[in-house]
């Protein structure tokens, strides 16, 4: 990830380092470092062409108006690594009102801390006023999590409030200098992720930082400084107190950033997955479940890396599929019809999961749909396959079914049949439709089916059984799936 060019630059060099060194020993390093190390262009070698015109316009406009303005955070880290930043954050000593007045399309947003979005078409540049020291007056919950803290401050205070040393550097495109308050450049060279200040306190203030450690360690292939790492397993339960929507946002970044497998492994290593995807604990312990999840994540990472879109619904559906399978089996054991049983299993899994993670309604409905479409792949006669082909979510459901085959959950004969059916002309399709499927069992459902309960004590949304006698999955017409009239 680090370019050869940058590696050369950050090799320890003889002679004096550029600017004033932040000389404090790491163990004693306090939150406040008033004087930064100043690194010039010849030393940091940032390629100015990686900075977008919009980011330049914002810093320049602010500076022309007499304010300080720097590119900050992840963008500086990425620029130093020779990576094109995916977005630019700007830090300034101008207040939100002052910033807003300088730009035609600028909006003040946020309550916990006000920020300004400066818009250029679709491009959003986030501009924040330097934050002041988080002092005792900041409103906190009973666990020490900072709830609201809108104090503005000096640049060095702003640096101290950032999470990691490598995220606390400021780049001024006009002078092409980097200001480093907390030894970020050294840590970048050593590939170390180090939280600024006392890790326990910083995690308590904002437990999401523990997830950020995981994400950056996995994304950048950096080691976690032992002092930053040690408290994590102990403090992991604090994540329970963070509003679920915020946890969800961070989980999305974690899973859709192109390094989902590495992130998930890190989550497990740090004991963080218990609190986040509770059902995944169980899934990852079953060989089939683990294989399925691994394949799904690898596929997601590949799509992200080649710039294809990824759907959070697909990913979460995959992560929780084996949990659904288990519950589905249990409901069928207890005498439920397959389709209602699948819906009940989905309800259980989603309600257990959404307590921790605020899965948005759109995502849960995508997940349900993907799961509910799975049994329909088993129906390979009459009009059923053609109807399935027309379903708007066919492609995603088909990919999902392929993953199930690849992971060994169901016979790959099913995927082969569908692959052939997709490519076939009308005559060949007739032949395929006439072919007797190898397996006569319901996809993914338990092999053994208990006898139905007497009196059909069914639950909501269940219809009468109207078996069509197609030799397999003939109970799929029961229940509340949309193809029940087929």
Shortest spacing between CB 220 and ligand ATP, in angstroms: 10
- What is the maximum span of the chain, computed from C-alpha positions, in angstroms? 87
Does position 167 bind ligand ATP by CB under 6 A?
Answer: yes
What are the residues binding Mg ion (CB under 5 A)? 74
CB of 62 to ligand ATP, least distance (A): 18
Of 71 and 236, which CB lies nearer to Mg ion in the complex structure? 71
Listed residue (145, 252, 254, 147) closest to 206, CA to CA: 145
Check: CB of residue 186 under 8 Å from CB of residue 93: no
Q: Is there a catalytic annotation at residue 89? A: yes
Active-site option among 43, 78, 149, 163: 163
Interaction between residue 250 and ligand ATP (CB under 6 A): no
CA pair distance 271, 236, nearest whole angstrom: 7
Binding segment for ligand ATP (CB under 6 A), chosen from 13-21, 206-214, 346-354, 400-408, is 206-214
Active site residue 87: yes
Bridge partners of 361?
none
What is the nearest approach in angstroms of Mg ion to the Cβ of residue 162? 12
Contact characters 21-60, ligand ATP, x per CB under 6 A: ----------------------------------------
| 80 touching ligand ATP, by CB under 6 A | no
Known active-site residue 163: yes
Q: Which of 78, 89, 180, 186 is catalytic?
A: 89
For residue 286, what are the contacts with CB-CB under 8 A and spacing of at least 6? 322
- Part of the chain binding ligand ATP (CB under 6 A), chosen from 204-212, 298-306, 329-337, 429-437: 204-212
In sequence order, which residues have a C-beta less than 8 Å from that of residue 250 and are 6 or more positions away?
208, 211, 212, 215
Tokens 């019809």 locate to 337
**What's phi and psi for 477, nearest 5 deg?**
-85, -5
**Number of CB atoms found within 10 A of residue 457's CB:** 11
Q: Which of 170, 196, 210 is nearest to 26 (CA)?
A: 196
HSE value, Cβ hemisphere, 13 Å, CA-based, for 373: 26
Residue 206 contact, options Mg ion, ligand ATP, none, Cβ 5-8 Å cut-off depending on partner type: ligand ATP
- Which residue from 43, 186, 206, 378 is in contact with ligand ATP, where contact means CB under 6 A? 206
Between 162 and 343, CB nearer to ligand ATP: 162
Asked if 67 and 92 touch (Cβ cutoff 8 Å), the reply is: yes
How far is the C-alpha of 480 from the C-alpha of 457, rounded, in Å?
16
Sign of CA dihedral 23, 28, 31, 34: negative
**For ligand ATP, which residue has the nearest CB?**
74
Which C-beta is closer to Mg ion: that of 74 or that of 231? 74
Binding segment (CB under 6 A) for ligand ATP, from list 177-185, 201-209, 276-284, 425-433: 201-209
Active site residues: 87, 89, 163
Q: Which residues bind ligand ATP (CB under 6 A)?
A: 73-74, 86, 89, 162-163, 167-168, 206, 208-209
């Amino acid at each position: 990830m680090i370019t050869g060019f940058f590696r050369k630059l950050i090799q320890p060099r003889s002679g004096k380092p550029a600017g004033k060194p932040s000389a404090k020993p790491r163990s004693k390093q306090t939150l406040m470092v008033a004087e930064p190390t100043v690194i010039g262009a010849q030393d940091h070698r940032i390629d100015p062409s990686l900075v977008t015109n919009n980011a330049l316009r914002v810093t320049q406009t602010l500076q022309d108006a007499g304010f300080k303005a720097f590119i900050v955070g992840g963008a500086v880290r990425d620029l130093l690594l020779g990576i094109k930043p995916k977005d630019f954050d700007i830090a300034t000593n101008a207040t939100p009102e002052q910033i807003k007045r300088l730009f035609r399309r600028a909006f003040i947003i946020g309550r916990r801390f006000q920020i300004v979005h400066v818009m250029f078409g679709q491009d959003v540049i986030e501009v924040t006023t330097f934050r002041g020291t988080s002092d005792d007056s900041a409103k906190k919950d009973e666990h020490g999590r900072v709830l609201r803290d809108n104090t503005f401050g000096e640049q060095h205070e702003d640096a101290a409030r950032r999470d990691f040393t490598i995220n606390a550097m400021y780049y001024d495109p006009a002078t092409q200098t980097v200001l480093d308050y907390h030894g970020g450049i050294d840590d970048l060279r050593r590939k170390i992720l180090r939280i600024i200040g006392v890790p326990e306190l910083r995690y308590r203030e904002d437990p999401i930082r523990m997830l950020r450690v995981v994400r950056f360690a996995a994304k950048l292939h950096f080691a976690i400084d032992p002092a930053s790492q040690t408290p994590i397993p102990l403090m992991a339960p604090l994540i329970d107190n963070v509003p679920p929507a915020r946890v969800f946002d961070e989980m999305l970044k974690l899973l859709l950033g192109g390094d989902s497998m590495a992130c998930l492994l890190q989550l497990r290593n740090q004991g963080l997955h218990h609190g986040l995807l509770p059902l995944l604990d169980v899934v990852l312990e079953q060989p089939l479940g683990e294989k399925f999840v691994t394949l799904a994540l690898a596929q997601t990472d590949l799509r992200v890396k080649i710039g294809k879109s990824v759907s959070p619904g697909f990913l979460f559906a995959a992560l929780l599929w084996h949990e659904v399978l288990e519950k589905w089996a249990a409901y069928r054991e207890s005498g439920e019809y397959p389709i209602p049983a699948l819906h009940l299993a989905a309800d259980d899994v989603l309600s257990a999961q959404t307590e921790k993670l605020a899965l948005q309604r759109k995502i849960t409905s995508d997940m349900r749909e993907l799961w509910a479409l799975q049994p329909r792949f088993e129906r390979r006669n009459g009009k059923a396959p053609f109807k399935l082909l027309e379903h708007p979510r066919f492609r995603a459901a088909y990919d999902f079914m392929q993953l199930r085959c690849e992971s060994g959950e169901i016979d790959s004969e099913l995927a082969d049949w569908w692959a052939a059916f997709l490519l076939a002309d009308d005559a060949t399709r007739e032949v395929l439709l006439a072919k007797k499927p190898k397996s006569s069992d319901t996809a993914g459902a338990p092999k053994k089916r208990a006898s139905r309960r007497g009196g059909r004590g069914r639950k909501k949304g269940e219809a009468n059984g109207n078996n069509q006698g197609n030799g397999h999955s003939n109970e799929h017409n029961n229940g509340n799936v949309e193809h029940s009239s087929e």
